[in-house]
């Protein structure tokens, strides 16, 4: 019989201490998971690949480096490109696998222009989760295309990893200058964009992201020809297009969102016209889920 508290302090046995510690840790884990799920609806807050080299220390902060600088290409190749899954048997972990075309009409226009070309190569920037309104998923699944999916928001990128696309992935953004840069990215699922704040801005919903010029990705992947470039970066489309050395790259078709471009859609059309492209279609959606020009290289038109 244990003594009363008045006669002697009650002590815990070693066994009871272990039970108490185990219960406390379990409770903290459960609480953390509940809190974590509430804070992160779309996935992990950060991208953590297997490489222990990942982290802000791998960012390239010297904005004087050119897009084709060997340091830039090496860093991009080693730390910011994720190859397709090695096991090709269990691809496409999709929420709506029966949906034939996830785009809002852009993919249909591109397929029409390229006559349902097979084995093409795409680049999609603003790739979201790799499924929702993806402009390239149809070509990948049904026409055996491959390519590169670029998504800056770590929440979206984590979901894209989970989708198991048969394409390269990059947790980065396209630079608005012909040099690599680190930016503060505002996370808003399908409307996230580079913010006006400087890198290092500490506020909920903002994360520092490494950006590279489009030309750097092409060099890193040893790609000289792109069949389709999908660009949706919430207003920075024209700035991104101006970084491209058009005399060194070969892009057949593009879909470019124009609705958020500061200088208006006409400025976008005029710039691409000056680079040898023509608008062959304009894709819109009643719920503003698409406002894109479809550009085609003039030399490909009849």
Write out pLDDT tens, residues 273-293: 999 999 999 999 888 788 999
**Segments of 187-249 assigned E as strands:** 193-194, 206-212, 225-231
Residue 71 lies in a domain: yes
Structure tokens at 259: 């609705």
User: Residues 225, 136, 91, CA angle at the centre, nearest 5°?
Assistant: 110
Best CA proximity match to 124, nearest among 220, 269, 239, 251:
251
Residue among 215, 244, 214, 238 nearest 293 (CA): 238
Question: pLDDT by residue (tens digit) across 257-270?
Answer: 998 888 889 999 99
Count of all residues that appear for the chain in the document: 302
Assign 41 to helix, strand or coil.
Answer: coil
Q: In the chain, count of helices (H) and strands (E)?
A: 8, 11
Residue span of the structural domain in which 117 resides:
67-300
Inside any domain, residue 6: no
Decide if 40 is inside a domain. Answer: no
CA distance 190 to 41: 13
Question: Would 228 be classed as within a structural domain?
Answer: yes
Q: Of the segments 36-40, 89-93, 136-140, 189-193, which one has the largest average pLDDT value? A: 136-140
Residue with token string 């390229």: 114
Does an H or E element contain 269, and which? helix 265-274
Query: And the tokens for 274?
Result: 């000056």
Q: Residue written as tokens 């309104």?
A: 133
Average pLDDT over residues 293-302: 96
Strands 250-257 and 193-194: unpaired
In a domain, 278, yes or no: yes
Alpha-helical segments (H) within 119-262: 137-142, 154-163, 214-220, 237-241
| 3-state helix, strand and coil shares in percent for the chain, rounded to the nearest 5 | 30, 20, 50
Q: What is the CATH number of the domain that holds 159?
A: 3.40.50.150
Phi, psi of 48 (to 5 degrees): -125, 85
Could you give the 3-state DSSP secondary structure of residue 295? Answer: strand
Contact 133, 122 (CB under 8 A): no
Residues 171-197, mean pLDDT to the nearest whole number: 89
Does residue 88 have a pLDDT over 90? no
State the Cα–Cα distance between residues 139 and 146, nearest whole angstrom.
8
List, for residues 31-72, the tens digit of each pLDDT value: 333 333 333 333 333 444 444 344 555 899 888 999 999 999
Instruction: Please report which residue ranges of 40-132 form alpha helices under DSSP H.
Output: 70-79, 106-113
Tally of domains in the chain? 1
Confidence band of 228 (pLDDT split at 50, 70, 90):
very high
Using CA atoms, how far apart are residues 16 and 3, in angstroms rounded to an integer? 17
User: Quick check: is 36 in a domain?
Assistant: no
Lowest mean pLDDT among 4-13, 193-202, 239-248, 253-262: 4-13
User: Is there a domain that residue 38 lies in?
Assistant: no
Q: In this model, does residue 25 exceed pLDDT 90?
A: no
Compute the average pLDDT of residues 133-140.
97
Position 37 scores a pLDDT of 34
Q: Is 167 helix (H, G, I), strand (E, B) or coil?
A: coil
Q: Residue 125: which H helix or E strand, with range?
A: strand 121-125
Asked whether the predicted pLDDT for residue 8 surpasses 60, the reply is: no
| C-alpha dihedral, 236 to 237 to 243 to 246, nearest 10° | 180
Over residues 150-156, the mean pLDDT reads 94
pTM: 0.81
Two structure tokens written together for 45: 């807050």
Who's near 102: CB < 8 A, 6+ residues apart?
Answer: 96, 131, 132, 133, 134, 137, 138
Q: How many Å is the Cα radius of gyration of the chain?
A: 24
Express each pLDDT in 160-174 by its tens digit: 999 999 999 999 999
Cβ(207)–Cβ(185) under 8 Å? yes
Residue 23 belongs to a domain: no
């Amino acid at each position: 019989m244990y003594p009363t508290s008045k006669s002697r302090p009650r002590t815990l046995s070693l066994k009871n201490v272990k039970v108490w510690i185990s219960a406390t840790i379990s409770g903290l884990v459960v609480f953390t998971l509940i809190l974590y799920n509430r804070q992160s609806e779309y996935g992990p807050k950060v991208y953590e690949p297997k490489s222990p080299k990942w982290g802000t220390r791998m960012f390239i902060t010297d904005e004087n480096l050119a897009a084709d600088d060997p340091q830039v290409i090496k860093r991009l190749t080693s730390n910011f490109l994720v190859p397709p899954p090695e096991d090709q048997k269990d691809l496409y972990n999709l929420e709506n696998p029966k949906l034939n075309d996830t785009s809002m009409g852009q993919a249909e226009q591109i397929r029409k222009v390229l006559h349902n070309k097979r084995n093409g190569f795409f680049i999609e920037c603003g790739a979201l989760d790799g499924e929702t309104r993806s402009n390239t998923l149809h070509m990948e699944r049904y026409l055996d295309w491959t390519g590169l999916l670029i998504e800056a928001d770590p929440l979206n990128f984590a979901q894209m990893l989970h989708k198991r696309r048969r394409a390269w992935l990059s947790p980065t953004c396209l630079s608005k200058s012909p040099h690599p840069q680190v930016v503060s990215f505002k996370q808003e699922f399908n409307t996230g964009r580079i913010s006006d704040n400087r890198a290092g801005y500490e506020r909920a919903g903002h994360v520092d992201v490494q950006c590279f010029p489009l030309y750097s990705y092409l060099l890193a992947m040893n790609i000289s020809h792109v069949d389709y470039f999908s660009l949706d970066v919430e207003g920075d489309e024209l700035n991104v297009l101006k970084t491209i050395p058009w005399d060194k790259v070969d892009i057949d078709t593009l879909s470019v969102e124009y609705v958020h471009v500061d200088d208006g859609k006409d400025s976008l059309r005029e710039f691409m016209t000056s680079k040898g492209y023509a608008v062959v279609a304009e894709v819109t959606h009643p719920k503003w889920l698409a406002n894109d020009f479809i550009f085609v290289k003039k030399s490909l038109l009849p």
